[in-house]
Chain A
Amino acid sequence: MATFQDLVHQLLGFWKDYGCVIQQPYDVEVGAGTMHPETFFRVLGPRPYQVAYVQPSRRPADGRYAENPNRVYRHHQLQVILKPAPEDVQDVYLDSLRSIGIVLRSADLRFEEDNWESPTLGAWGIGWQVLLNGLEITQFTYFQQAGGRDLDPISAEITYGLERIAAFVTGKDNVFDLLWSPTVTYGTVRRREEREFSRYNFELADTPLLFQLFDLYERESNRCLEAECVLPAYDYCLKCSHTFNLLDSRGAISVTQRVALINRVRSLAVDIASAYVKQS
């Protein structure tokens, strides 16, 4: 495994062969693969589903102007949802690591308790972070609730941190030195984006405007909900969430405000989830 794109290709291939629907990244800004509708909606209700996709995930506060070897504003998650969670789900996951050339026999691998929670999505689950030679490469979660609703059946969510795994597999210390393709580095593909968005997120973003946008997105989401048009309502809920993250990275949110804003996004997510379940 020499390149970032090989890794993506190989892992998606593994899950395609397993029987997953291979989906595409969602085209609204999200902070994590969990926010993709293919996770948020599919884990609700009784119907089985298996899906895998890459999701570029924007975390404005993590930006480091492309100067930190490990942190980036936008990283890539490879997200797998298996619903219901198969009994051998951990073994299948370990096989996926073998498929990308990781020799587990001579590795130190552990599943360490790490329960996942997303207050804005009203979602939480029980699970682990997977540590490979001390490096957290995957978040592994049994979803228990989403949109404030108890789930049945339970889905397993596997979230690979692609940059970290690629750095591990290829032995690179700096994410920007990774080979994206055999001749082009990750830095060439992404450096400008990291610099400009770091600058925007930390220095440039117009906070009064963002507060206005938050209100507008929220209003539009509610309007869609009233018309029982769930998926567009969810898009605007995601936009609220991203706007919140931008405001947060600008340091524009006080602690009291923070709780109130999170609750507003969460309340949208809960209403959307219940409308979705009612309709299906």
Chain B
Amino acid sequence: MSHRLLFELGTEEIPASMIVPALEDLRRGMEGALAEPGLGWEEVHTFTTPRRLAVLFTGLPERCPDRGELAWGPPVSVAFDTAGRPTPAAEGFARKLGVGTDSLEQADNERGRYVVVRQVVPGIPVVDLVKEILPGVIASIRWPKTMYWTPSRFRFIRPIRWIVLLWDDEVIPFEFEGVKADRWSRGHRLIGPSRIEISEAAAYEEILRSGGILVSPGERRRIIEAGLQRISGDLQPVPDSELLETVVHLNEWPAVIKGSFSPEFLRIPAEVLVTVMRHHQKYFSLVDQEGRLAPSFVAVINNRQDADGTIREGHEKVLRARLEDAAFFWDADRKIRLSERVERLRDVLFQEKLGSYFDKTGRLVRLSNRLDPDPQLAEAARLCKADLTTEMVRELPELQGVMGGLYAREEGYPEGVWRAVYEHYRPVSLDDELPESRNGALLSVADRMDTIVGCFGAGIVPSGSSDPFGLRRQAQGAVEILRAWRFEYSLRELVESALSGFPWEEEQGVREAVLAFLEQRVSFLLERLGLARDVVRAVCATGIASASPAELEDRARAVARIRGNEDFEALAVAFKRAMNLLARSGESEVAEPDPGRLQEEGEKRFYEVLQEWVPRVRASVERKDYDRALELIAEIRPAVDRFFDDVLVMVDDASVRRNRLALLRRVVDSILMVVDPSQILVQGGGENG
């Protein structure tokens, strides 16, 4: 007999962004807890709306599988006499379990050998298991921010108000935080019944549909997407997957409506209009065939329809008020020039120990000047934070930078200035676009480096989940830009330049900490580009400080291409051996090899080879031809192996030994210009990753 299990956890409205991860926790928790005693099932379905998380299992058996278990009796030494006959202790044990002494077996545990009886423990009914596991499963759902509402101080995202727990068509008796499970779910707040009876687990989705609830987020998404296309007519909705996900999880039954606003507002920059619609009202924007913003919007409502248009009118009115505010800010802000606003940044705190944004502006002008002496870049650096004093940015903080750029353009600054200001917060997230202009890219890097170095100097260092200034994101953006624009600044150069903006004496600790931090970000970047982890490590292990992210990428790609090469793979062994010898010698400074001290034929031959090889490797590296450099590196493998076969390095004569170590040092140093082969995992000649 196959059964269905329905669990619906009814809550007050859960924040949209938290629903999907919570449902995933719930599903995984239930699957894990049910699978533990060996239970199997056919299908698992999950459902969710803002007010409920639900899981439906089908094809469950009545009971958990039986388990074999050992009943432990007395030690063998006590259970049997010297002739091997059962003692009264053994007989008593057998009697207690209702078996004959011939059923007694023996087994070991950490204390010795014991008499046991093999028993079959019948599996418990699945409904009993469900009652047992659910409290733990509910409590295991992770939420970013929780509340309590009962005296027990149980913490959850919002109060739990009802629970439906059905085994086919029967309620499983269960209670959690004062809420008793039953078969009564809740309908849509506006268009459904307040209580709705779920007669049978499998009918859940259809019964709730009749109560004005679409429990499948996929179905709600399809309705919204189809509605967006249909209602847009000749216009095109601006694709916005994040907003789409949000509105999917904000409504229990969505419908799509189109509204409009007065074309007069189109005099405000499109960036502002879109931000007001998106962030404040969760509306989709529409553009015409030429990509121009249209004076209309699409809203997703929590109702089946807007029969008499009153919902649309309401939304239009709210948007109008918001746009009036925006228009007011747009006009008011432009009455004060950005260059005047720079002075006001003295009153805007960047960070307590790092001063105001005025101080930061000064550092940015100097830092960007070190990167590129273009006067337009310096001007952009001077103006880039001025928009923090505008009403518009105070109201719509997500427009920082963008507003500064727009105001600068209005004031007639050249594109090399205004666009740099406009773009200098990009990328805002991992998926955001990078600056498209060179000055924008440079200014963004400068701003990020100043923040990172400054925060590290002030003791604000990301650890675990704590990263209040978002330094990881800042650093990630910096290395992404450096790589994409193929800037040639080495990371050390960038850190040094940023450090020079601060008056600290002792800089070594900060410098090294920031470089180590940047190394993690570069590694992450290279892996994100699809490079295998060991390849990334092999490149980063040579030291990232003197390289640019673009160079590290090129080297990693070249390593990925050559890694299947037999000589290259085999080189790791010889390389490690050479490194060990150098380390063991305890001589940190190994001089250049002295040809006059070469004694044996093998080392003389090796010296000759290196005389030619080392300059060729160096020349390839200088040409940035890492493929050629790696080919050369792979080619040196037989010579190194022969050297090790023919010549004993660690001889007693110190001067001879030093000379041989010096030969190895030349090889190792040349290889490390590109890669540390000891980090490469040998794949047995397979394809590289």
Contact = CB atoms under 8 A, between A and B. Distances in A.
A115 interface: yes
Contact of B251 (A110, A128, A134, A256): A110
Given A68-B324, A104-B190, A106-B303, A134 B148 contact: no
A173 B317 contact: yes
A106 B318 contact: no
A110 B158 CA distance: 15
B315 interface: yes
A105 interface: yes
A17 interface: no
Given A108-B302, A108-B303, A113 B321 contact: no
A134 B306 contact: no
B453 to A, nearest CB: 22
Interface stretch (A86-94, A185-193, A218-226, A235-243): A86-94
Contacts of B161: 87
B36 interface: no
A266 to B, nearest CB: 18
Nearest to A135: B318
Contact of A255 (B151, B299, B324, B348): B348
Contacts of B191: 105
Interface stretch (B8-16, B221-229, B651-659): B8-16
A70 interface: yes
Contacts of B331: none
B460 to A, nearest CB: 16
Residue of B250, B308, B319 with most partner-chain A CB within 10 A: B250
A37 interface: no
A144 interface: yes
B190 A133 contact: no
B308 A106 contact: yes
B280 to A, nearest CB: 9
A134 B16 contact: no
Interface in A77-98: 85, 87, 90-91, 94
B13 A111 contact: yes
A109 B189 contact: yes
B301 A154 contact: no
Given A87-B161, A106-B308, A152-B151, A113 B16 contact: yes
B347 A109 contact: no
Contacts of B356: 255
A255 to B, nearest CB: 4
A126 B159 CA distance: 11
B347 A255 contact: yes
A118 to B, nearest CB: 16
Contact of A70 (B146, B153, B281, B321): B321
A69 B307 contact: no
B349 interface: yes
B352 interface: yes
B176 interface: no
A90 B148 contact: no
B352 A112 contact: no
Contact of B315 (A110, A134, A254, A255): A134
A128 B157 CA distance: 12
A153 interface: yes
Interface in B421-436: none
Nearest to A91: B194
A94 B314 contact: no
Contacts of A227: none
B190 A144 contact: no
Q: Is the interface of A mostly helix, strand, loop or mixed?
A: mixed
Nearest to B303: A108
A254 B318 contact: no
A107 interface: yes
Interface string A104-132: 11111111110100000000011010001
B314 A168 contact: yes
A110 B318 contact: no
B390 to A, nearest CB: 13
Contacts of A125: 147
A85 B149 contact: yes
Interface in B184-220: 189-191, 194
A154 B148 CA distance: 8
Contact of A126 (B147, B189, B315, B349): B147
Contacts of A173: 317, 320
A133 B302 contact: no
Interface string B300-328: 01110011101101110111110011001
B85 interface: no
A168 B321 CA distance: 13
Given A108-B303, A110-B250, A133 B348 contact: no
Nearest to A71: B325
A142 interface: yes
Residue of B16, B153, B321, B324 with most partner-chain A CB within 10 A: B321
Interface in B211-255: 250-251
Contact of A110 (B12, B302, B306, B321): B302
Interface string A13-54: 000000000000000000000000000000000000000000
A154 B149 CA distance: 6
Contact of A107 (B15, B190, B299, B317): B190
Contact of B151 (A94, A135, A153): A153
B111 interface: no
Nearest to A130: B13
A185 to B, nearest CB: 19
B148 A144 contact: yes
B623 interface: no
Contact of B352 (A71, A106, A110, A256): A256
Interface in B327-382: 328, 347-349, 352, 356
A135 B310 CA distance: 13
Interface string A58-72: 000000000011110
B145 interface: yes
A133 B347 contact: no
Nearest to B347: A254
B633 to A, nearest CB: 55
Contacts of A70: 321, 324-325
Contacts of B15: 112-113
Contacts of A135: 314, 317-318
A3 B50 CA distance: 35
B35 to A, nearest CB: 34
Contacts of A144: 147-148
B44 to A, nearest CB: 28
Residue of B148, B250, B328 with most partner-chain A CB within 10 A: B148
B301 A108 contact: yes
Interface string A145-173: 00000001110000000000000100001
Given A85-B149, A91-B194, A134-B315, A107 B347 contact: no
B12 A90 contact: yes
Interface string A231-255: 0000000000000000000000011
Nearest to A258: B349
Contacts of B348: 255
Given A142-B147, A256-B349, A256-B352, A133 B308 contact: no
Contacts of A126: 145-147, 158
Interface string B568-580: 0000000000000
Nearest to A110: B302
B318 A107 contact: no
5 contacts: A107-B190, A108-B314, A133-B310, A135-B317, A153-B151
Interface of B: 12-13, 15-16, 50, 145-149, 151, 153, 158-159, 161, 189-191, 194, 250-251, 281, 299, 301-303, 306-308, 310-311, 313-315, 317-321, 324-325, 328, 347-349, 352, 356
Q: 8 closest pairs, A vs B, by CB?
A: A133-B314, A113-B15, A108-B301, A255-B349, A126-B147, A111-B13, A134-B315, A134-B318
Given A106-B310, A133-B318, 15 more contacts: A94-B189, A104-B190, A105-B191, A106-B303, A106-B306, A107-B303, A108-B302, A108-B303, A111-B13, A112-B15, A125-B147, A135-B318, A152-B153, A255-B349, A256-B349
